[in-house]
Structure 1
């Protein structure tokens, strides 16, 4: 069973039709799903999967309990690093989902640095990621670090700067290999 990391922007409150169809195909193929507990794409994907009564889902969270677990699935607590603040509170669980995933499905608003980094984490380990960019209504499959950098180039310099500023030193090293 392949493991699919589904994620995306917290500001996205409606999944695009192609992503809905892709999640339906994931369910039909009985792949495992790794999803976070955040509002936005995580919750929308959870809602869709719960509607299917799909069982092969793991919800990753950094708090004591998941903020959202709409299907009462297995929950995986991945605590943040000591002293983590802001976006770093969620980064450890995102890194763990990317580490475990064979493939990714990201719904990206074209701006979210966290989603961009999740796509990069998948690319540097050779796990293809289908990306639905909602702002431009574009779709990509990102397979390599070069393709990820090309995607960020389209997003613009501000998004690139914010994504790079959130990378760990290890992630920067992986990206440059």
Structure 2
């Protein structure tokens, strides 16, 4: 069973039809799904999976309890480093999902730095990632760091600065190496 990290922007509250179809194909193939607990894409994907009654799902969270676990699935607590707040509070759970994933499915609004970093993590691990870029209305498949670089070339300077500000030193080396 392949493990697929499904994630995306917190500002997307409706999954694109092709992403819905892809999640349906994941269910039909009985792949495992790793998903976070955030509002937006995480909660929308959880809602879809719960609607199908799908069981092969793990919900990753940083807080003491998941913010969303719509299918009452196994929950995996990945605590934040001491004193972490905001994005940094949730980043470790994202890193863990990227480590465990064989593949990724990201729904990106073209600006979300967290989603962009998850795509970097998957590319660095050699885990192919299908990206639905809702801002540009396109689908891409990232298989490598050069693919990630090509994708972010279309992101604005503000988005890239936010991505850089959230990177660990190791992630910065991957992105710039």
TM-score (norm 2): 0.98
5 Å matches for 1:144-159?
144-159=144-159
Q: Which structure 2 segments of 5+ residues have no match?
A: none
- Show CA shifts across 1:46-92 (max 9, x none): 00000110000000000000011000000000000111111101100
5 Å matches for 1:16-165?
16-165=16-165
- Contact kept, 8 Å, 1:3 with 1:32, in 2: the verdict is yes
- Contact kept, 8 Å, 1:152 with 1:159, in 2: the verdict is no
Is the partner of 1:81 in helix, strand or coil? Answer: coil
Is the partner of 2:154 in helix, strand or coil? Answer: helix
Q: Which structure 1 segments of 5+ residues have no match?
A: none
Question: Where does residue 2 of structure 2 map in the other structure?
Answer: 2
Is the partner of 2:11 in helix, strand or coil? Answer: coil
Matches of 2:162 and 2:153 in 1, distance apart?
13
Matches of 2:144 and 2:59 in 1, distance apart?
26
- Show CA shifts across 1:16-70 (max 9, x none): 0000000000000000000000000000000000011000000000000001100
